[in-house]
A and B are shown apart, each in its own frame.
Chain A
């Protein structure tokens, strides 16, 4: 058998695939065959490596050279230069702010070095389709320990010591959930994994399912043993076909290896797992709506109590945790609850996976201890704001959360701290916005989302959010009045007080929090009929400076709606009624003659 000389890890997380990973991998395999290297060089597709903006990523071992933004055309250089001649391909290395090259950014830049990976421990390291690689990284050892050495009470005790709280949004202590489900008496119980990750800007559950599916299988089996369940369901959204595919493979492999199904590890304990697929309804992330959906009904939330731990799926006691929560279970069992609790701060122990998106240089997934400041996340780990712009706000918690302005950037992230700022940790999505983003527009945008995603069961949520959205539309089109702001506050309070589930109870949050921190922006829209960020279409014009325009026609050619007219070598003009404010003309103009203005 030939000795493997190099192992090439290619990130096959969802983001890298959508950036063209598949054709890179195919080209690489072709090239390796061309040079008869296919037996000495091993190519492994891993789960998400985290740094989405650098994708597709390729890391070559034993050296650990990190190549970014690899395109099929780069592959022959990698094979011919790096693999055959041992020369690093400089063009594809990570480039720092000043153009400095780094061979191993994973050991040098804060995006990687400041992370503590527990839930995401195997992401980007192993082949998610290989159960052997999962086992080689201590996989299924926690399950073995639980089944052979621990009582259910002892497992719960470790969870209690770990102070793990639910990572899906509500932050309920996990040990308590498990205790309640365990103490409910019934001959049948169920374990559910909530993989209906719907918060805009959150994608850690997707990454875990795609990159380390066995972690979920193992943790759910442990949960089943603890509460006394024999059947479990993973409810995954249909928007994640790759996660469904890889989890299905993991479930089948685990069964084949006797780690799932009948008589697991010869202990007499049996547990089986099935995936149920959603069909595009955000509200199904709410646990009782999710249960209704698994039961084949419309996904509308149920009244609580009874809580799912008493009466859940088909009326039986049910334990429901989200993906990231489950991903923490095996390490806690292996290393002990106290080990986990050494990370983080009072009230928020352990680590949290955050998804960085929006106007930040390093987009992607990062796992850091609780208590890390927003500043560190955005400016150190995230690398700051691109294009020399200023940060305006960080949106956390999706449509249930709020916007945190720059003045609170030093806040350590904990459940309580973010709550006191009118935001939430939520599922961990952080959307960073810069000076070009209009906060009124952002709030309107989230309302549009809740209007569409409200299940319609509670009138205040169904009709109230619609009315709020109408008011927001009025304000952003320059027709707002001062009394609209009072109406927004009043309506928002009603909706929060009288809705059944978390969706309605938090739907007005984006409006409330932007009104709190960006009051002047609302006033500018209403009083001055002006959008300071020049984002709201009705309050913004794109104009050509006649002094600067040389009539090169570049703008007219690029305009998608043909709204720019003028003769060659004479100043051009934009018809504001047709113009969509897309800004394409601003980008192509080489004379800086075009700009957005808000009167």
Chain B
């Protein structure tokens, strides 16, 4: 991807987000979300630089925002980002065992991406699905009532393309 392409992408997103917004000035968060979605779960540093150039927002401020919020990443992430809930209801309901199973299955720790670039494993604060704990999300899809066996099957299914509900 060339620098010009990145610039055009970022500019298009920024203009669109600004136009959709009630107040023009401060659409940084929404813009960054859209950029991240566009680049498959991460924000290339070049895109952040272009955003600075287009909007005049200091690069330091963009960096500050990017590093403050856990859902933004400037490092390439997998096609599927797995967010496993680390909150108490999941913890008391066998969440620790599910986490062990996930780590073992994927062969990675939190914050890491599998070698084939398919999965990134992250922790999430409460996903608000405590009635069916333990819970995880894969991209925008949630999975509840997890067990060590069930997560392994889900991972296999997603990998084999058997899960039509999960969008890459």
A29: CB under 8 A from chain B? no
Known contacts A19-B144, A238-B71, A433-B92: does B29 contact A277 (CB below 8 Å)?
yes
Please state if A580 and B26 are interface contacts (CB–CB under 8 Å).
no
Smallest beta-carbon distance A294→chain B, Å:
7
Q: Which A-chain residue is minimally distant from B140 (CB atoms)?
A: A241
Q: Choose from B22, B125, B144 the contact partner of A15 (Cβ within 8 Å).
A: B144
Total interface residues on A, using CB and 8 Å? Answer: 70
Known contacts A18-B135, A19-B144: does B88 contact A200 (CB below 8 Å)?
yes
Please state if B68 and A358 are interface contacts (CB–CB under 8 Å).
no
Please state if B130 and A429 are interface contacts (CB–CB under 8 Å).
yes
Smallest beta-carbon distance A438→chain B, Å:
10
Please state if B32 and A203 are interface contacts (CB–CB under 8 Å).
no
* B165 proximity list for chain A (CB < 8 A): 22-23
* B96 proximity list for chain A (CB < 8 A): 582
B155: CB under 8 A from chain A? no
Smallest beta-carbon distance A476→chain B, Å:
13
With A363-B133, A584-B148 already in contact, 20 other A-B pairs whose C-beta atoms are closer than 8 Å: A15-B131, A18-B144, A19-B132, A52-B132, A55-B131, A199-B126, A200-B87, A200-B125, A201-B130, A202-B126, A238-B71, A239-B126, A240-B128, A241-B140, A294-B29, A296-B29, A297-B28, A355-B131, A433-B92, A582-B148
Please state if A445 and B129 are interface contacts (CB–CB under 8 Å).
no
Please state if B142 and A18 are interface contacts (CB–CB under 8 Å).
yes
Smallest beta-carbon distance B116→chain A, Å:
22
Q: List 7 A-B contacts (CB under 8 A).
A: A52-B129, A198-B126, A233-B22, A273-B22, A277-B30, A280-B69, A449-B87
Q: What is A's interface to B at a CB cutoff of 8 Å?
A: 14-15, 17-19, 22-23, 51-53, 55, 197-203, 205-206, 231, 233, 238-241, 272-274, 276-282, 293-299, 314, 355-359, 363-365, 395, 398, 429, 431, 433, 437, 442, 445-446, 449, 453, 455, 560-561, 580, 582-584
Please state if B23 and A231 are interface contacts (CB–CB under 8 Å).
yes
Please state if A295 and B26 are interface contacts (CB–CB under 8 Å).
yes
Please state if A580 and B100 are interface contacts (CB–CB under 8 Å).
yes
Name the 9 nearest CB pairs between A and B, nearest first: A52-B131, A200-B87, A296-B28, A279-B69, A357-B130, A296-B26, A18-B144, A280-B71, A280-B70
Total interface residues on B, using CB and 8 Å? Answer: 54
* B145 proximity list for chain A (CB < 8 A): 18-19
Please state if A53 and B131 are interface contacts (CB–CB under 8 Å).
yes
B106: CB under 8 A from chain A? no
Smallest beta-carbon distance A220→chain B, Å:
13
Please state if A239 and B137 are interface contacts (CB–CB under 8 Å).
yes
Q: Per-position contact with A for B21-53: 1 when CB-CB < 8 Å, else 0? A: 111011111101100000000000000000000
B124: CB under 8 A from chain A? yes
Smallest beta-carbon distance B88→chain A, Å:
5
Please state if A442 and B88 are interface contacts (CB–CB under 8 Å).
yes
Q: CA of A445 to CA of B141 in the docked complex: distance in angstroms? A: 26
* B27 proximity list for chain A (CB < 8 A): 296
Please state if A239 and B92 are interface contacts (CB–CB under 8 Å).
no
Interface centre among B32, B88, B142 (most CB of A within 10 A): B88
Please state if A560 and B131 are interface contacts (CB–CB under 8 Å).
no
Please state if B68 and A299 are interface contacts (CB–CB under 8 Å).
yes
* B83 proximity list for chain A (CB < 8 A): 239
Please state if A197 and B29 are interface contacts (CB–CB under 8 Å).
no
* A51 proximity list for chain B (CB < 8 A): 131
Known contacts A17-B142, A431-B89: does B130 contact A53 (CB below 8 Å)?
no
B127: CB under 8 A from chain A? yes
Known contacts A52-B131, A239-B127, A299-B68: does B144 contact A560 (CB below 8 Å)?
no
Q: CA of A279 to CA of B34 in the docked complex: distance in angstroms? A: 12
Please state if A206 and B26 are interface contacts (CB–CB under 8 Å).
no
Q: Choose from A203, A279, A355 the contact partner of B29 (Cβ within 8 Å).
A: A279
Please state if B143 and A18 are interface contacts (CB–CB under 8 Å).
yes
Q: CA of A583 to CA of B147 in the docked complex: distance in angstroms? A: 12
Q: Which A-chain residue is minimally distant from B34 (CB atoms)?
A: A277
Smallest beta-carbon distance B110→chain A, Å:
12
Q: Choose from A19, A276, A279, A356 the contact partner of B71 (Cβ within 8 Å).
A: A279
* A561 proximity list for chain B (CB < 8 A): 104
Known contacts A53-B131, A200-B89, A445-B91: does B32 contact A279 (CB below 8 Å)?
yes
Q: CA of A579 to CA of B80 in the docked complex: distance in angstroms? A: 30
Smallest beta-carbon distance B54→chain A, Å:
14
B97: CB under 8 A from chain A? yes
Known contacts A201-B89, A293-B29, A433-B92: does B69 contact A281 (CB below 8 Å)?
yes
Q: CA of A560 to CA of B142 in the docked complex: distance in angstroms? A: 25
Q: Which B-chain residue is minimally distant from A363 (CB atoms)?
A: B131
B4: CB under 8 A from chain A? no
* B143 proximity list for chain A (CB < 8 A): 18
Please state if B89 and A357 are interface contacts (CB–CB under 8 Å).
yes
Q: CA of A364 to CA of B131 in the docked complex: distance in angstroms? A: 5
Q: CA of A172 to CA of B22 in the docked complex: distance in angstroms? A: 29
Please state if B128 and A239 are interface contacts (CB–CB under 8 Å).
yes
Known contacts A200-B89, A201-B130: does B97 contact A582 (CB below 8 Å)?
yes
Known contacts A279-B72, A358-B93, A560-B148: does B124 contact A14 (CB below 8 Å)?
no
Q: Choose from A231, A274, A280 the contact partner of B125 (Cβ within 8 Å).
A: A280
Smallest beta-carbon distance B136→chain A, Å:
9
* B65 proximity list for chain A (CB < 8 A): 296-298
B5: CB under 8 A from chain A? no
Q: Choose from A14, A202, A398, A583 the contact partner of B142 (Cβ within 8 Å).
A: A14
Q: CA of A542 to CA of B51 in the docked complex: distance in angstroms? A: 55
Please state if A274 and B21 are interface contacts (CB–CB under 8 Å).
yes
Please state if B130 and A198 are interface contacts (CB–CB under 8 Å).
no
